[in-house]
Structure 1
Amino acid sequence: MSQDMSEENLPERRSSESHEVAAHDDPFADPGLPPHEVRRTDIDERAAKRAERQVALLFTVSMLATVAFIASYVAFDIDTIVFIWPFGHVSLLNFALGITLGVALFCIGAGAVHWARTLMSDVEVADERHPIEASEEVRSKVIADFKQGAAESGFGRRKLLRNTLIGSMALVPLSGVVLLRDLGPLPEKKLEHTGWDQATPAAPLKLVSMNTEQPLKAEDITVGSLVFAMPETLSMDSENFQEAIAKDAVMLVRIAPEDIKDRPSRDMGFEGVLAFSKICTHVGCPISLYEQQTHHVLCPCHQSTFDLADGARVIFGPAGHPLPQLAIKTDAQGNLIATGDFNAPVGPSYWERA
């Protein structure tokens, strides 16, 4: 009898064994969730308090590092070079900023990770996929899960963690605000003046050719020509030539006095010779294209067009201001001279300029 029963159950046993083998051979079989392991901080309140103090310490170090970042920016000069192994000779300011900001960000991240691994709930929960539009039951469950997670995280109950986290997160953005100061020194009045500002009626500056660095005479400027000039105090060999010429460059044209429409502009010239800034008032490109018949100059970058016979006003393009003009006359030797700076700031608009 027992032998018959064994034989009857044999197909069922073979089916069960074959199913187990098939499941074992399937590389995509769902292994399920591993059994939950209880952490020490879950059962030992002293361990939980110790972990809380460790996280708070990391957040506090982050706050101190942010304060050190700001203090370093104020205390160290950018030109101070020190030897630091193994980096070699580096800027003390850059090194201090990098170290302090790195520590501030690292401690926030490390504190958050340590908080999550030791104090927040680590029970894994599996949930079935649901439609994109959640049902009312799902929404209620999400809200309940969020409230449960917030309660289990201890954010409301563990005030030391919450306050130090808020403090570190509030201070870190100050690093970015301080870095805005590194956009450059404040311009003060530098944008309003050029190298021609040194010229006065008592001590005028000669206009010299940018090609020969020789003084220019009124007779050198012929109708239809475009001549580029700079102040006699500037030399192409000078160390700051590129910086200075970006504001001091002048273009000279000669227009028949009766063709000059703007009287103040004509009075700033000499016998039809007019001196305008070579720097476009849109984004600061050098202007070099001149049309003799219309007295228009064109900026090659964005096609802003200026009428030199009408005070260099803008007649086309994105430029917002006329080209500044330089008042000129001649000295006893017939050299063209300037007695002051341009009549307006050179180049593109900026905050202080309307």
Structure 2
Amino acid sequence: MTPAIREAVSLKPYNTFSVDVRAAQFVEVADDAGLIAALAYAEQHHLPVHLLGGGSNVLLLQDIPGLVVRMASRGRRLLETHGSRVMIEAEAGEPWHDFVCWTLRQGLGGMENLSLIPGTVGAAPMQNVGAYGVEVKDVFAGLTALDRHTGQLLDFSVEACRFGYRDSLFKQQPGRWVILRVRFWLDREAPLHLEYGPVRKRLAEQGITAPSPQAVSDAICAIRREKLPDPAVLGNAGSFFKNPVVAQAQAAALQQRWPAMVGYPQPDGQVKLAAGWLIEQAGWKGYRRGDAAVHKDQALVLVNHGAATGQELLALARDIQADIHDRFGVTLEMEPNVLPAT
């Protein structure tokens, strides 16, 4: 049975930028059967399909033709235990932060650095989300996805996902795969990742010398709330640009000219630059053009002060990209997916 399909639905509540565009047709699916029925309906009526999760990593440019399918599946479970290691699984529609909190309540470590990231479990491997030294690939055990080309359900290993920096096979092949559920290896004795100074500083300020995963999560949540605006208050999609990775020689030349420039050496010899630092140095922090703006406290975040369109936000982003390239010779890549694609 096909889930209830609605027409001319505003997507403002379903994207964290709060851009007000409409879906020609819209459906929420709660399980595999509902998804398959919705896709069959779209094929029968010759409708293009656009998938939507938590709407935290998308920039909507205009009304969306065809059928927008929102993944609303729920469920989380323990699958296997091997000593202190535990494999867990969650459905794609589970809110990511709620899921992380659930793992901590089970006494499992490994995801604490990924606390308070917006979005859903299904979207996390697509972007290979990461924060404070940990990425999804570091705790990934596998996932199940629907191949829309063949109709088959396939299981993916970490190698098959082709994870990269904010990248994966699923992002490289947009529209083909629908992630249904994701599995992770966590550990009751997982080592903590405290490489980032702000985390250690926050714990030290609280007098915590032997932190638990929950304490690390609490510290990271506090830091993120101070740095990043709440989408429920001010429309945004978190970090709008990826931190660019450049050759070591280029990084050295830039640091010679701008000694305060932030850079993080990578295992392959390249250097990851802080996009927020570059944008702030170029004078964009706090810049506002109508209701499209750069956040006053965090230059990496573009915000919607109320009535900005997706086109206006995209135009601002492209102006920033052009300016950073002119000033530093560095190309910034946008993190959010643009829909419809340009």
**TM-score, normalising length: structure 2:** 0.22
Query: Larger RCO: Structure 1 or Structure 2 (Cα < 8 Å, ≥ 6 residues apart)?
Result: 2
The structure with more strand, counted as a fraction of residues:
2
> Which protein has the bigger helix share?
1
What TM-score does the superposition give when structure 1 sets the normalisation length? 0.22
**Bigger Rg, structure 1 or 2:** 1
